[in-house]
Amino acid sequence: MLEIKDLASWLSPEAVKLYEDRGYKELYPPQAEALERGLLDGKSMLLAMSTASGKTLLAELAMLKAALQGRRSLYIVPLRALATEKYDSFKRFRALGVSVGISTGDFDKRDERLGKNQIIIATSEKADSLMRNGVSWVRDLAVLVIDEIHLLSDVGRGPTLEMTITKLRHCNPNLQVIGLSATVANAQELAAWLKAEMVSSDWRPIRLREGIICNGMMVFSDGEVPLDAKKDEALALVKDTLSQSAQILIFENSRKNAEASASRLCGLISADEGALELSLSILATGESETAVRLASCVSRGVAFHHAGLLPEQRRLVEQGFRDNKIKVIASTPTLAAGLNLPARRVLIKSYRRYEYGRGMTPIPVIEYRQMAGRAGRPGLDPYGESFLMAKSSSEMQELLEHYIHGTPEEIWSKLASESALRTHLLSTFAAGFARNEPELKAFIATTFYAQQQDPWHLDVTLEKVIDFLRDNGMIQGSDEGLLSPTRLGSLVSKLYIDPLSAVIMLENLKKKSALEADRAERKRPSDLSLIHLIAMTPDMDLLYIQAADGWVEEFIDQHHLELYDEDNYDYLLREAKTAAMLMDWIGEVHEEQIAGRYHIGPGDIRRSAETAEWLMHSLAELSKHLELGITFKAEQLAQRIHYGAGKDLLALLNLKGVGRVRARKLYLSGITSIERLLAADQMEVARLLGPKIAEKVISQLKKEEIQP
């Protein structure tokens, strides 16, 4: 058994003491195995281990050793929330003189400044964009950690993650790669691709008892325990958990169910001071109906958690659960994706989930394992318990075989899709990883796709994508057979948009301009026109049409002259609804009204606005490059989308702490510019903004951070 003090063979005494002071005494068996097999001697490693078995600690040790030798590490995560969590955790290394940085933001920023840090945390998309923008420090990495590497098989994120790993290994031939994964069926194949040792283990620090609730019984492999349930078995399980002064996570298959479940459980817990304080903090994040509902639940020690919440609301719920102010969280599966939030018990209410175009489908085994793995808090619980629910003995038997005793799925590369290759081939040429077709094929031969299948399967798709990029002026050939990006191709790659998005924007703008020139009525496109244009691109996530959305057809009829031509009417409906929502957002319609009208949460509004801002900024850059005459308008719209405000407020919105609501209050009181704000009566400003915000704004102006 390796003890923490044995780390002195690799780390400084101060580093070892940092862990000892945090209560670490000895390493878990799989951790000891990883060290014995060379993790701290620079060997690449795939750690396919159970949740809570200490994978992150191993990654930390490798990065810490590199940092103390003056070398740099990159830690890649799938989600921004996870990046923030890791950043907060790794900041403690600053006590050892190790600098830590995080980058999840704008995709066309170089972020060269990040290179001054020894540990850098980024999402895979951001890491990919850093390479596209030619950041020098990515060619000088000692350690690459990929958290949740099994997401290579995710249709959306997988190709970017795969290409990012492939490119980083090309840039840094001696790179130590550490993949952190749940247990998967073909981990050996993944390890072979990474040229890594594999440590695979089902060991957990706390025993996990996996059971199924059926006919009023908690059924485990080694016996049954009755549940005091008359009708509602889920309610009975929560009551039983609370009676043991323990916490429970409930996974629901939809946001609606998560909210309903939390509301139903509110009456079980008496309010305490900590929960009431937390509920006030949640109310302070916004006045939407969702915030009010969440705050009401939290005041009773219960919460819901899903992607419709604002990031700060999700963070408050997570911290409230860690601090034991919240006893029950009803969540969609997003919470299972890597966040450190263990509980005594986990209940997976439904193992089926709605998938667009497929209806209700069973979740993968790997996803079940991630949810079930949240059960049991190291150092706090004697054991953890997870439960599925079955309506009959035959269903129970199926669940036992498939989920509890079943094997997690294999990971399969998703790189072969045309949409993924459009984006990634352009960036491969733009960043200089390949200069002709043979070099491109040699590069593709080093991907995980090529590890699993003969790369020649991709040849037809590669040809097709190269033709698309060439036909649309993004790459050019030479007599010597060289392929290089054009100025347009380089710009599109740096903007981090799908080349098809650029084509859609440019073709529609040119088409409309030509039509108007024919009619001799050259008009600038309206705000709605440009917002509809970005909604037509594959990069924009569109809102779905629901039964109550009959008004969308009327909206299309009223605004048909401003909308671009769209052949697919179903798409047009979704694009128009999304564009209408963004128009309401920049028209300063109250967030609660937007959420109600479009059947979405505040988090969805912000996410759509973030994507729309990025696409509008990209449109402005394309216009600047090709002199399309809409640069200023698109830049201004990007700013308005960022703040959700009218253009008359833009001068005031650069002030920290002044959002669209406060800026409008100032404007309506005649304070319409920075000059007027400087000249205004301070008592009046305090009345409009509140004393604290007013004080901050005025001191900000006095420091001349913002020039009039």
Whether 485 and 506 share a structural domain? no
Specify whether 467 is located in the same domain as 571.
no
Give yes or no for residue 617 having a pLDDT over 50: yes
Give the tens place of pLDDT for each residue, 470-516: 999 999 998 888 999 999 999 999 999 999 999 999 999 988 666 66
Residue 294's contacts (CB-CB under 8 Å, 6 or more residues apart) are 282, 303, 304, 309, 313, 317
Looking at the structure, tell me whether residues 189 and 260 fall in a common domain: no
Q: Which of 404, 427, 452 is the last residue of a domain?
A: 404
- Residue 412 covered by a domain: no
Give the list of residues 6+ apart from residue 689 with CB closer than 8 angstroms, or none: 657, 658, 662, 665, 666, 697
Q: Which two tokens stand for residue 250?
A: 């409930």
Extended strands (E) in 83-235: 100-103, 119-123, 143-146, 176-181, 197-201, 208-214, 217-220, 223-226
| Structure tokens belonging to residue 414 | 């998703």
Are 361 and 462 in a shared domain? no
Q: Are residues 507 and 623 in the same domain?
A: yes
Beta strands in 463-576, from DSSP E residues, in sequence order: 475-477, 483-485
Average pLDDT, the chain: 92
Q: How far apart are CA 504 and CA 530, in angstroms?
A: 12
Are 79 and 134 within one domain? yes
Listed range (87-91, 118-122, 181-185, 213-217) with the worst mean pLDDT: 181-185
Domain annotation covers residue 411: no
Instruction: Look at residue 596 and tell me if it is in a domain.
Output: yes
Same-domain status, 160 and 53: yes
Domain boundary among 404, 437, 452: 404
The secondary structure of residue 400, as a DSSP letter, is I
For residue 157, being part of any structural domain is answered with yes
Q: Given a cut of 70, is residue 708 above it in pLDDT? A: no
- Is residue 413 situated within a structural domain? no
Q: Is 409 contained in some domain?
A: no
With respect to residue 487, please indicate whether it lies within any of the assigned structural domains. yes
Number of domains observed in the structure of the chain: 5
List, for residues 326-383, the tens digit of each pLDDT value.
999 999 987 776 678 899 999 999 999 888 788 899 999 999 999 999 999 888 888 9
Rg of the chain over CA atoms, in angstroms? 27
Do residues 616 and 657 both lie within one domain? no
Q: d(Cα 205, Cα 199) in Å, to the nearest integer?
A: 16
> What is the sign of the dihedral through the CA atoms of 653, 656, 659 and 664?
negative
Question: Of 599, 491, 498, nearest to 545 (Cα)?
Answer: 599
Q: Is the pLDDT at 244 greater than 50, yes or no?
A: yes
Token look-up 């030479």 returns: 478
What whole-number distance in Å separates Cα of residue 671 and Cα of residue 652? 9
**Phi, psi dihedral angles at 323 (to 5 degrees):** -85, 5
Please indicate, yes or no, whether residues 620 and 677 belong to a single structural domain of this protein.
no
Of 105-109, 261-265, 404-408, 601-605, minimum mean pLDDT range: 105-109
Q: For the chain, give the percent of residues with pLDDT over 90.
A: 79
Residue 585: give its domain's CATH number: 1.10.3380.30
Render pLDDT for 291-314 as a digit per residue (tens, 0 to 9).
Answer: 999 999 999 999 999 999 999 999
Q: Are 355 and 398 in contact (CB under 8 A)?
A: no
- 381 and 235 in a single domain? The answer is yes
Domain hosting residue 41, numbered range: 4-201
| 8-state DSSP, 385 | E
Task: Compute the distance between CA of residue 179 and CA of residue 177 in angstroms, rounded to an integer.
Answer: 6
For 500-556, the pLDDT digits (tens) are 999 999 999 988 666 665 554 557 899 999 999 999 999 999 999 999 999 999 999
Helix (H, G, I), strand (E, B) or coil at 235: helix
Same domain, 536 and 600: yes
Asked whether 366 and 184 are in contact (CB, 8 A), the reply is yes
Claim to verify: residue 49 and residue 89 sit in the same structural domain: yes
CA diameter of the chain: 83
Tell me the sheet residues that pair with 343.
375
Q: What pLDDT band is residue 52 in, cutting at 50, 70 and 90?
A: confident
Residue at 708 is within a domain = no
Q: Give the Cα separation of 353 and 100 in Å (integer).
A: 38
**For the residues 242-271, what does the mean pLDDT come to?**
94
Last residue of a domain, one of 609, 627, 644: 644
Kindly report, residue by residue over 393-409, the tens digit of the pLDDT: 999 999 999 999 999 99
Q: Is the pLDDT of residue 659 over 80?
A: yes
Percent of the chain's residues with pLDDT above 70: 96
Read off the CATH number of the domain in which 434 is found.
Answer: 1.10.10.10
- Predicted pLDDT of residue 522: 54
CATH number at residue 364: 3.40.50.300
For range 119-127, the mean pLDDT: 95
